[in-house]
Amino acid sequence: MTTDPATALPDLSELEAGAAVVRLPMTVKFRGVTEREALLLRGPEGWGEFSPFLEYGDAEASRWLASGIEAAWQGFPEPLRARVPVNATVPAVPAGQVRDVLAAFGPVQAVKVKVAERGQALADDIARVAAVRDALPEADLRVDANAGWTVPEAVEALTRLGEFSLEYAEQPVPGINGLAEVRALLEARGTPVKIAADEAVRKAEDPLRVARARAADLIVVKAAPLGGVRRALRIVQEAGLPAVVSSALDTSVGLAAGVALAAALPSLPHACGLGTGALLAHDVVRPPLVPERGSLPADSLGERATPDPELLERFAAPEDRRGWWLERLRRCHAVLAATRV
């Protein structure tokens, strides 16, 4: 994977000169973290974000760097729509906390609910999804297992959760073969739950294999893990499946890339998972990119994704963490330099 050929890879010194490392508190625990760290890049076209999760290796993380470089050194394609519809995201919280989480998103027409959390049971998932359905009876409802189930567990869970009229289930099991098996078994049972591929697209060496294997009804795409907006657009076009654009718990700087991707897609049949800015207690941009009546603006994204200097200073990561991120930046830059064609 390389950066877009239209943009030369900036020198490492350029990246380091415009780098800011922040640590932002969250409103609830998400993916096991209560604070989100990110390295932000300032370039000639604005700002980009480099924030792969801490456990990711350099090869995978380098795609996130390519995305941040694209945003800051190349900018985004022209939008095809003025606003992008988004879903609320409910982490794996107890059912009693669901309404409080939803309140942060304001009015929405779609909700994604995290399920299959390690240490929790199917009963917890059912209670959480039921609480969302009770709070928003008319909303499009989708669940995301982050590949946390086995095939038998997924079939049982989605048969039970299908009673809540799910729009789709995102990555219920690991791998493409597992997705295809779950999809076939649900169809044989007459359970009308569509399957969406996420990790099987963004973590795969060949992100189009999901479509060729008929393992999913739609794909979930994220700008950063796929190497940027333009590469993600090509993947969606070649896959030939409906796409949902999602985020990776980004700051508003990173969310702008997701909004740009969603705004540039010729077809956008589903609300996107780009409302996760509402899960941050603080952001680096004023005003932050958070949902307004279920959507995000797609115009002037470069301006909307410009950090406030006071917020960068206020939420600057400790010096040891800044050093950790700069070293990661150096390693991932070397990966891109070695693989660029």
Active site residue 203: no
Residues in CB range of 217: below 8 A, 6 or more apart:
168, 183, 194, 195, 196, 241, 242
How far is CA 40 from each of CA 167, 193, 304, rounded to the nearest angstrom? 35, 38, 14
Detail the residues annotated as belonging to a binding site for Mg(2+).
Answer: 144, 170, 198
Detail the residues annotated as belonging to a binding site.
Answer: 144, 170, 198
Kindly provide the b/e burial profile for residues 174-204, where b requires at least 16 CB atoms within 10 angstroms of the residue's own CB.
bbbebbbbbbebbeeeebebbbbbbbbbbbe
Q: Tell me which of 29, 112, 203, 222 is the catalytic residue.
A: 222
| Pairing between β-strand 33-43 and β-strand 46-50 as defined by DSSP bridges | antiparallel
Residues in CB range of 1: below 8 A, 6 or more apart:
62, 63, 66, 227, 231, 339
Q: CA-CA distance, 327 to 21, in Å (whole number)?
A: 12
Q: CA-CA distance, 266 to 46, in Å (whole number)?
A: 25
- Contact between 69 and 10 under an 8 Å Cβ cutoff? The reply is yes
Active site residue 29: no
- Contact between 65 and 89 under an 8 Å Cβ cutoff? The reply is no
Q: Tell me which of 112, 114, 194, 203 is the catalytic residue.
A: 114
The single residue listed with the structure tokens 């115009």 is 299
Tokens of 285: 């941009």
Instruction: List the catalytic residues.
Output: 114, 222
